[in-house]
């Protein structure tokens, strides 16, 4: 049964005088906290993993590829030359569709540190196919990664956070495509999978945000819904659909596509004490695309 939130209110914000004259932006500090980022080998996932590492976090990037990407190796080199207060980046091969392996992987990470403070679920796949031509195999493949993969990542992480009594935060990378249909891009399975992620976050936030009598719980769950970003997946879309880039650039208020680095601050905000009273929310960052 879901706990009554008023019985054990969740307080994770620093004391009022915590950062007075001591440290700039202390509320965003993630030093020595442990995080998992799925889809963290490249693109947006890697960018957010680096942001957490820069804030002092110990970050494990999970991805299906047997070996880390060249992008990840470069990021790891940057990590090794950073200041001593910066965190670390570690790569682990893991398919989020392998639920048993995923559970073992996350349990192993939490056990090694006797804690787990949060998750960024950034893995996602795309398929451009008219709806009437989708097979059940196509649909199952998309949903296994984009929806079930997020669900199973979150539940595996939550079990460890409950076990170690770590209050923390989860950030799901949804999409404005979960709120509106993408003009010019026929991707019904992807769009509906992202809508499912938005609703999943609300339900998990309702269940996990209250603190339980044993001290567990206190897990905030929120989404970031990006607009069109220059990622490897989007570049592939441009190759498949001539004129799509120009169309998308003309449909937001800023007349351009986003870069992955523009989402770092939002992720740090949601993972840290800076957003201690925010759960079940969706942060839309789309250059104004859905506002007009």
Q: What is the reported pLDDT for 122?
A: 98
Cα 108 to Cα 14, 92, 114, 173, 271, distances in angstroms: 29, 11, 10, 24, 21
Quick: pLDDT tens for 99-142: 999 999 999 999 999 999 999 999 999 999 999 999 999 999 99
Q: Is 190 a catalytic residue?
A: yes
Q: What is the rounded distance in angstroms from the CA atom of residue 156 to the CA atom of residue 100?
A: 9
Task: Point out the catalytic residue in the list 190, 236, 247, 264.
Answer: 190
Per the structure block, which two tokens stand in for 11?
A: 């307080």
- Choose among 228, 272, 226, 271: nearest CA to 246: 228
Q: What is the reported pLDDT for 245?
A: 92
Q: What is the reported pLDDT for 20?
A: 47
CATH class of the region 28-285: alpha beta
Q: Is 23 a catalytic residue?
A: no
Q: What is the rounded distance in angstroms from the CA atom of residue 171 to the CA atom of residue 165?
A: 19
Per the structure block, which two tokens stand in for 265?
A: 């601050």
Residues of the chain with pLDDT under 70: 1-24, 84
Task: Point out the catalytic residue in the list 194, 236, 247, 264.
Answer: 194
E strand map for 79-153 = 88-93, 118-121
- Choose among 133, 123, 106, 98: nearest CA to 45: 123
Quick: pLDDT tens for 70-92: 999 999 998 877 776 789 999 99
């Amino acid at each position: 049964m879901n706990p009554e939130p008023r019985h054990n209110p969740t307080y994770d914000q620093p004391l009022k005088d915590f950062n007075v004259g001591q440290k700039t932006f202390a509320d965003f500090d993630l030093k020595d906290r442990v995080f998992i980022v799925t889809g963290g080998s490249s693109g947006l996932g890697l960018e957010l993993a680096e942001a957490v590492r820069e804030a002092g976090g110990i970050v494990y990037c999970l991805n299906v590829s047997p070996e880390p990407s060249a992008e990840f190796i470069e990021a790891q080199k940057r990590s090794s030359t950073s200041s001593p207060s910066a965190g670390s980046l570690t790569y682990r091969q893991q398919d989020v569709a392998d639920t048993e392996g995923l559970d073992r992987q996350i349990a192993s990470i939490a056990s090694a540190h006797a804690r787990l403070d949060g998750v960024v679920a950034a893995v996602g796949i795309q398929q451009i196919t008219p709806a009437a031509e989708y097979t059940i195999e196509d649909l199952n493949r998309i949903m296994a990664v984009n929806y079930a993969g997020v669900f199973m990542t979150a539940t595996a992480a939550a079990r460890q956070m409950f076990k170690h009594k770590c209050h923390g935060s989860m950030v799901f990378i949804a999409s404005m495509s979960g709120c509106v249909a993408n003009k010019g891009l026929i991707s019904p399975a992807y769009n509906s999978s992202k809508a499912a992620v938005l609703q999943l976050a609300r339900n998990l936030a309702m269940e996990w945000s209250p603190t339980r009598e044993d001290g567990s719980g206190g897990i905030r769950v929120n989404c970031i819904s990006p607009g069109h970003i220059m990622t490897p997946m989007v570049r592939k879309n441009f190759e498949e659909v001539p004129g799509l880039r120009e169309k998308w650039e003309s449909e937001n208020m800023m007349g351009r596509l986003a870069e992955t680095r523009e989402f770092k601050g939002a992720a740090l905000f949601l993972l840290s004490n800076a957003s201690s009273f925010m759960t079940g929310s969706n942060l839309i960052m789309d250059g104004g695309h859905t506002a007009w």
